[in-house]
Amino acid sequence: MNISTERYAEIREAHRIHIRATAIMVFVIYWLMVFTYPNFFIFRPNEETEVLRQVALWLCLIGWLLAAIATPILLFAASGGNKLSLKFIPVTAMWWPASLIFSQITVVYLTGESYINYLVDYPIFLITDLAIPVLVMWKWSQLKESVTLVSNN
């Protein structure tokens, strides 16, 4: 093994560890938020009378579960070289913020009011609702690029 091959292996291993650390961080932060603010994350969509609101809440429920469970699993899989997992990372990372936007729109449509002020009242939610999805998408783009580079070698 020559020096450039050894260096490449070191960089690849460091990248793998970094992606796995990101996956663990995403998992821990989401679950800390869920346990800290259970009423925000754990709810019964069927208790709503409006069907549109029920749909929005189901999408949100699915979204945070995907973000908290599937995204870290897919990041781990991708860090281990699983190329198929790369296709699903954007879906699992962006479902939650997309469902929140849809939920906001449905509330405005149904009531004429918004609940976006929760981000002012609880700015910690900026982490789960904005920062983590952006971070995961950035990591995903890096992973895609590294897979392309490895495939081209």
Q: Which H helix or E strand runs over 93?
A: helix 84-111
Tokens (6 digits) for 101 = 């936007």
Amino acid 8: pLDDT = 75
Q: Give, to the nearest 10 degrees, the angle between helix 84-111 and helix 51-65.
A: 150
The answer to whether 125 and 118 have CB atoms below 8 angstroms apart is: yes
Quick one: pLDDT at residue 20? Answer: 96
pLDDT at 109: 97
Q: Rounded to the nearest 10 degrees, how much is the dihedral formed by the CA atoms of 68, 73, 76, 82?
A: -140
Using alpha carbons, select from 20, 150, 111 the residue that is nearest to residue 72: 20
> According to the model, what pLDDT value does residue 153 have?
46
pLDDT, averaged per 10 consecutive residues of the chain (153 residues), comes to: 74 88 97 95 93 97 98 95 95 98 97 94 96 97 73 47
